[in-house]
Amino acid sequence: MSKQVLIAGLGLIGGSLALAVKKSYPDTVIAGFDLDTNAVRMAMSLRVIDREAVDFAEAAEAADFIILAAPVESTISLIHELQNADLKEGAVITDVGSTKQTVVEAGKLLEKKGAVFIGGHPMAGSHKTGIEAAKERLFENAFYVLTPSEDADTRSIIQLQNLLKGTKAKFVQLDPKTHDTFAGLISHLPHIVASALVHQVEDAGKENPFVQQLAAGGFKDITRIASASPAMWRDILVHNKEVLLPMLSEWQERMSRVQTLVEEEDADGLHAFFDDAKQSRDKLPSRQKGAILPFYDLYVDIPDHPGVISDVTAILAKQQISITNIRIIEAREGILGVLRLSFRSESDLVLAEALLKEHMYETYEAP
């Protein structure tokens, strides 16, 4: 008999997981639930799901696996709804949230129903959102963290990994607290800092709007992560409060030390601050998918000539290479311009670079 899978939350992550499951198990029946009826209709139209789950609790009772692909606060609400459902014995339930302690704690309540809750966090995403952006390759080579409770049996964990093997992700297992600490440091805190920088420029722009035009270059690049869903990040900060508060204090202390170095004109201290950061960053893995969405960017020198951009895109289109974003970095009359092309995967970037070099374009990647 084919397995019954219920996915609650038909956005980018939920849709991509559905496609990955279908890739490995074509006979699996996937039901989709979402409060947004347009998302459900689109998921049906794109054949991401097999049928609509009109009533969440009723659909959950028929499911062998339940994937809660919603923001953290909504996920906890859905878990509470499941407490009143007659779940299948041994049903495996997981989520995709960026914080795990509060979710796993809520999930323990389902063990009394004979179900197994295994926290999950696929560390992948896209610049695009919504079910229409779903791709079965979204999680390929990304870390997929599982945070089972101490009572979760090994067999259920293996069953969940088998269900999700079509993601081609790298599964790792952490306890919920360790996950939240790591995610807070390498994902949550950077989002706070990026958003704070955007606020600072916005405030400065009220007095002199020209500063925002200047910010359209490198500043916009380093703060790209600040464009993420406000509702999602609101929930993340609320549910990872205990981890983030000490980190924010440490960050403020670090900024105070930098401020002192500047005030005292401590050239050696400032050099050491930047040099240590450079050495540490240069040792980080190159383009490995992690907690923050990687950017597969390729820079292309182009001459100041009509039609050059369409020529570049046509070369890539012939090989069915999808460009997720394109931007002219510099283009002034009589000099070379620079195109920044963004791709959805490293393999697309490597192929694009080779093709453009064949056509005598100079290309280079960001460090």
Residues 184 and 276 in one domain: yes
Helix (H, G, I), strand (E, B) or coil at 137: coil
Residues 91 and 65 sit within 8 Å (Cβ to Cβ): yes
DSSP 26: T
Q: Are residues 317 and 243 in the same domain?
A: no
- Per-residue pLDDT for the chain (367 aa), expressed as one digit of tens each? 589 999 999 999 999 999 999 999 999 999 999 999 999 999 999 999 999 999 999 999 999 999 999 999 999 999 999 999 999 999 999 999 999 999 999 999 998 889 999 999 998 876 567 898 888 888 988 899 999 988 888 999 999 999 999 999 999 999 999 999 999 998 999 999 999 999 999 999 888 888 888 887 678 878 888 888 888 889 899 999 999 999 999 999 999 999 999 999 999 999 999 999 999 988 876 655 555 556 688 889 888 778 889 999 999 999 989 887 888 775 444 446 788 898 877 788 899 999 999 998 989 876 5
CB 41 within 8 A of CB 8: no
State the helix-helix crossing angle for 230-239 and 72-82, rounded to 10 degrees: 70
- Clarify whether residues 276 and 301 are in a common domain: no
Let me know: does 363 contact 353? Beta carbons within 8 Å: yes
Whether 291 is covered by a domain: the verdict is no
Query: Exposed, middle or buried by CB within 10 Å (0-12, 13-18, 19+), for 103?
Result: buried
State the pLDDT at residue 246. 96
3-state SS of the chain: helix, strand, coil percent to 5? 50, 15, 30
If asked whether residues 306 and 331 sit together in one domain, one would say: yes
CATH at 209 = 1.10.3660.10
Neighbours of 340 (CB within 10 A): 17
Of the residues 150, 174, 198, which one is the last residue of a structural domain?
A: 174
Give the pLDDT of residue 243.
Answer: 94
Contact (Cβ atoms closer than 8 angstroms) between residue 353 and residue 298: yes
CB 177 within 8 A of CB 102: no
What's residue 112's pLDDT? 84
User: Nearest-5° angle of CA 14, CA 18, CA 24?
Assistant: 145
Same domain, yes or no: 60 and 204: no
| Residue at 227 is within a domain | yes
d(CA 121, CA 103): 11
Residue 318 within a domain: yes
Last-in-domain residue among 174, 199, 215: 174
289 found inside a domain: no
Q: Is residue 12 one of the residues assigned to a domain?
A: yes
* Number of independent structural domains in the chain: 3
Tell me, yes or no, whether 204 lies in a domain.
yes
Complete DSSP assignment for 169-217: -EEEE--HHHHHHHHIIIIIHHHHHHHHHHHHHHHHHHH-THHHHHTTT
Residue 118 bridge partners (DSSP): 94, 148
**Amino acid letter for position 261:** L
Q: Are residues 237 and 342 in the same domain?
A: no
Write down the pLDDT at residue 334: 44
CATH number of the domain that residue 301 is part of: 3.30.2130.10
User: What span, in angstroms and rounded, lies between the C-alpha atoms of 291 and 277?
Assistant: 20
- Do 47 and 134 lie in one domain? The reply is yes
Count of Cβ atoms closer than 10 Å to residue 102 Cβ: 22
The torsion defined by the Cα of 62, 32, 75 and 245, in degrees rounded to 10, comes to 140
Of 136, 131, 173, 144, the C-alpha closest to 17 is 136
Residue 364 neighbours by CB distance under 10 Å: 11
Around Cβ 234, how many Cβ atoms within 10 Å? 13
Same domain, 9 and 29: yes
In a domain, 287, yes or no: no
Residues 92 and 163 both lie in one domain: yes
Pair type for strands 337-343 and 296-302: antiparallel
The number of CA neighbours under 13 Å toward the Cβ of 123 is: 24
The CATH number covering residue 155 comes to: 3.40.50.720
Q: Among the three residues 222, 252, 282, which one is the final residue of a domain in this structure?
A: 282
Count CA atoms within 13 Å of residue 87 on its CB side.
27
Note whether residue 290 is domain-resident: no
pLDDT at 126: 64
pLDDT attached to residue 2: 83
Pair of tokens at residue 60:
């959950």
Please say whether the dihedral angle defined by the alpha carbons of residues 193, 197, 202 and 203, taken in this order, is positive or negative. Answer: positive
- Decide: helix, strand or coil at residue 23: helix
Residues 93 and 32 in one domain: yes
Same domain, 78 and 115: yes
Identify the pLDDT of residue 331.
Answer: 47
Does 306 lie in the same domain as 278?
no
Query: What is the pTM assigned to this prediction?
Result: 0.76
332 is in which domain, residue-wise? Answer: 296-365
